[in-house]
């Protein structure tokens, strides 16, 4: 029987710390850490994420601005908004919700965000800093995963760590963060020949592939720490992860549920990055 890692509880504890830090910051400086979120178009999942980011800011006492732009917004308009926010002293973090409508170039938008306000850590300058271990911002989802692993008390050093998925947002930075904690890291992806053979070696398994209930109990090692980054909507409307919880839970030592595992951590780490950025801008 695994212990369930309660992402909501870990997130609540980090947010309580941030709220206290924010009040102290305001008392010392007379302004609040500020986050600007841009959303282009009507994608329903993105709308929910953006609302939750706004709520998160309110909860910890940050200043926030949300820009809801129509789906036919031109690149020129979007880049002009990013430029205005780059120069705005009230704003310490800028996040443009992805995916963008097809006519807009995501890379161009990411490059336009001032790296010192890039709280997603998507700008190549910040990605490079993560590679060399000298960073201001950690990418939100992998940073949340690291906090959850930390909450188990399991030491990553020397452990076999397997990451499934090689996206720029999760898989690649996740592998770097585990490496920085001295894990022996393997990245698996769609071309990996014998996935189960690799996953069965994992003391710590992080799964971010976007396939519902893909990792089953026979694919994990007895006593593994299993972190499920997946968020898949099943036909009956229920949310499920990439890990088949029912068959993995009896075998794992720790496991994250979906919902209530990694999800609540992502926005929390975004708030953490915004706090860090506000402090950096004082310097
Ligand atoms: N869309 C899905 N996840 C993310 C994220 O972490 N940041 C941004 N900007 N867009 C996203």
Tens of pLDDT, residues 208-235:
999 999 999 999 999 999 999 999 998 9
The dotted CATH code for 29-115 is 3.40.50.10860
Catalytic residue among 53, 117, 159, 172: 53
Residue 245 Cα to ligand 1 midpoint, Å, equals 25
Q: What is the mean pLDDT of residues 172-197?
A: 98
Catalytic residue among 97, 117, 203, 272: 97
Tell me the pLDDT band of 283, cut-offs 50, 70 and 90: confident
d(CA 109, CA 105): 7
The reported pLDDT for the residue numbered 202 is: 98
Least confident of 135-139, 140-144, 157-161, 241-245: 135-139
Mark whether 174 is an active-site residue.
no
d(CA 170, CA 229): 9
53-63 confidence digits (pLDDT tens): 999 999 999 99
Residue 266 Cα to ligand 1 midpoint, Å, equals 9
Find all residues with CB under 8 Å of 90, minimum gap 6, and list them.
Answer: 31, 34, 63
Residue 140 Cα to ligand 1 midpoint, Å, equals 9
Mark whether 120 is an active-site residue.
yes
Q: Taking Cα atoms as reference points, which of 118, 115, 63, 116 lies closest to residue 96?
A: 118
Mark whether 272 is an active-site residue.
no
The reported pLDDT for the residue numbered 28 is: 98
Q: Is 273 exposed, middle or buried (0-12, 13-18, 19+ CB in 10 A)?
A: buried
Residue 98 Cα to ligand 1 midpoint, Å, equals 5
Tell me the pLDDT band of 89, cut-offs 50, 70 and 90: very high
Between β-strands 3-4 and 254-255, what pairing exists: parallel, antiparallel or unpaired? parallel
For the chain, the domains span 29-115, 140-263
Find all residues with CB under 8 Å of 130, minimum gap 6, and list them.
Answer: 121, 138, 139, 173, 176, 177
**Strand segments (E) across 53-192:** 63-69, 93-96, 160-164, 184-188
The CATH label, of 3.30.1300.10, 3.50.50.60, 3.40.50.720, 3.20.20.450, for the domain at 140-263 is: 3.40.50.720
Q: What is the distance in angstroms between the CA of the first residue and the CA of the last residue of the chain?
A: 49
H/E/C letters for each residue in 130-167? Answer: HHHCCCCCCCHHHHHHHHHHHHHCCCCCCCEEEEECCC
Q: What ligand 1 atom has the least distance to the C-alpha of 98?
A: 10
Q: Whose C-alpha lies nearest to ligand 1, atom 1? A: 98
Find all residues with CB under 8 Å of 84, minimum gap 6, and list them.
Answer: none
d(CA 84, CA 76): 12
256-276 confidence digits (pLDDT tens): 999 999 999 999 999 999 999
159-183 confidence digits (pLDDT tens): 999 999 999 999 999 999 999 999 9
């Amino acid at each position: 029987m695994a212990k369930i890692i309660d992402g909501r509880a870990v997130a609540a504890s980090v947010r309580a710390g941030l709220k206290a830090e924010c009040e102290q910051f305001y008392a010392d400086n007379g302004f609040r850490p500020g986050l600007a979120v841009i959303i282009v178009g009507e994608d329903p999942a993105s709308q929910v994420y953006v609302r939750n980011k706004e709520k998160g800011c309110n909860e910890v006492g940050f200043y926030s601005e949300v820009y809801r732009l129509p789906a036919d917004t031109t690149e020129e308009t979007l880049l002009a908004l990013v430029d205005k926010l780059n120069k705005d002293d009230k704003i310490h973090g800028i996040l443009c919700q992805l995916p963008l409508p097809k006519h807009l170039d995501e890379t161009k938008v990411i490059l336009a965000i001032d790296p010192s306000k890039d709280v997603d850590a998507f700008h190549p300058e910040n990605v490079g800093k993560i590679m060399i271990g000298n960073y201001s911002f950690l990418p939100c989802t992998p940073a949340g995963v690291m906090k959850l692993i930390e909450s188990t008390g399991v030491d990553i050093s020397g452990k076999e760590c397997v990451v499934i998925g090689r996206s720029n947002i999760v898989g690649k930075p996740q592998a770097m963060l585990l490496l920085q904690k001295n894990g022996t890291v393997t990245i698996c992806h769609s071309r990996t020949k014998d996935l189960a053979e690799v996953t069965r070696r994992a003391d710590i398994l992080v799964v971010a592939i976007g396939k519902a209930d893909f990792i089953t109990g026979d694919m994990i090692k007895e006593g593994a720490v299993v972190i499920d980054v997946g968020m898949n909507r099943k036909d009956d409307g229920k949310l499920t992860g990439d890990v088949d919880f029912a068959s993995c839970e009896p075998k794992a030592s720790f496991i994250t549920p979906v919902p209530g595992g990694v999800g609540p951590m992502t926005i929390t780490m975004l708030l953490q990055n915004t706090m860090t950025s506000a402090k950096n801008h004082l310097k």
